[in-house]
Amino acid sequence: MGSPIKCNLKFQEAHPKIIVMNYTSLLSPTGPLTLFEEAGEIIAVEWGQTKGGSETPLLHEAKDQISQYFARERQIFELPLNPKGTEFQKAVWQQMLEIPYGQTKTYGALAKNLKSAARAVGGACGKNPIPIIIPCHRVMGANGKLTGFSGGEGVATKEALLRLESFAT
């Protein structure tokens, strides 16, 4: 079933200098996506399209990798990431990165690993700024129940991403 996603996940405090944020949009099977880069790292993926932007080599590579993912040609993203969040949120997002393509875990299982509550893990999943790449769609409710998803069309988008990955070999 493929290997866990291997990303250069980097968590750091915000830099005091003003940093230019670059962004670009692409069309995906789940709707338009906009990718944001700051200081050479992906900081967000959002549903929706933004006009303009400045496509850097990293954003171009991220677009290529996301397109490959949707074409079932990529299971592992190899991008520098720097999601902004609390230490707990970052710990949850790191756990999500370890869920292999084509597999799922429950909020409760992640909570157990973090010695926390499933509801707290769900809250952190909902705040994930880099969906798809940090695969919050792979986190399920108890007994495999499809529960909330903050991206795209909600649970329908989560279901579409899981259906895409069900073809993992």
Cβ within 8 Å of residue 158, ≥6 positions away: 137, 146, 149, 151
Q: Which two tokens stand for residue 73?
A: 């040609």
Rounded-to-integer distance, Cα 39 and Cα 14, Å? 11
- Measured in degrees and rounded to the nearest 5, phi and psi for residue 48 equal 125, 160
Respond yes or no: is residue 125 known to be catalytic: no
Q: Which residue among the candidates 136, 160, 161, 164 is catalytic per the annotation? A: 136
The SS3 call for residue 162 is: helix
What is the chain's Cα-based Rg? 15
DSSP β-bridge partners for residue 35:
24, 45
Q: Indicate which residues carry an active-site annotation.
A: 136
